[in-house]
């Protein structure tokens, strides 16, 4: 997976081998699954091991990807409601962006 910065967003392209392993096609279309991460989301787990949440919207089809990076789970403190609120707000922003993308696709 290749990650490159762009105006505060994270754009993700998978190599042909990775896309084949994921069952997502190959060849020239290998970078067609472009996701834009929420630049305002800054949520890490309370254990301090670097685990973070990523909410990203596929700019081509509006799919929303919720990722927990570097592990399989994330621990958010009940005392740190801000983290849970940030994740929820990022998901709402992604849903609004997704609706805009799919509405534009359906009007064509």
Strand, helix or coil at 32?
A: coil
Residue-level pLDDT at 33: 62
Kindly give the parts of the chain with pLDDT less than 70: 1-33
22 DSSP assignment: H
Residue 52: both structure tokens together: 């973070």
pLDDT tens digit sequence for 45-62? 888 888 999 999 999 889
Residue-level pLDDT at 1: 38
Among candidates 31, 29, 36, which has minimal Cα distance to 11? 36
Long-range contacts of residues 35-38, Cβ cutoff 8 Å, at least 24 apart: 35/10, 35/11, 35/59, 35/65, 36/6, 36/9, 36/10, 36/11, 36/97, 37/9, 37/10, 38/9, 38/90, 38/93, 38/94
Residue-level pLDDT at 3: 40
Residue-level pLDDT at 12: 52
Question: What is the pTM assigned to this prediction?
Answer: 0.59
């Amino acid at each position: 997976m290749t990650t490159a910065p762009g105006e505060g967003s994270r754009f993700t392209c998978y190599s042909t081998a990775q896309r084949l392993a994921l069952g997502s096609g190959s060849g020239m279309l290998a970078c067609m699954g472009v996701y834009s991460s929420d630049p305002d989301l800054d949520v890490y787990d309370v254990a301090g091991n670097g685990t973070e949440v990523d909410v990203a919207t596929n700019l081509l089809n509006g799919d929303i990807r919720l990722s927990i990076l570097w592990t399989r789970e994330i621990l958010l403190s009940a005392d740190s409601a801000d983290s849970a609120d940030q994740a929820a707000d990022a998901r709402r922003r992604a849903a609004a962006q997704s609706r805009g993308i799919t509405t534009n696709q359906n009007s064509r």
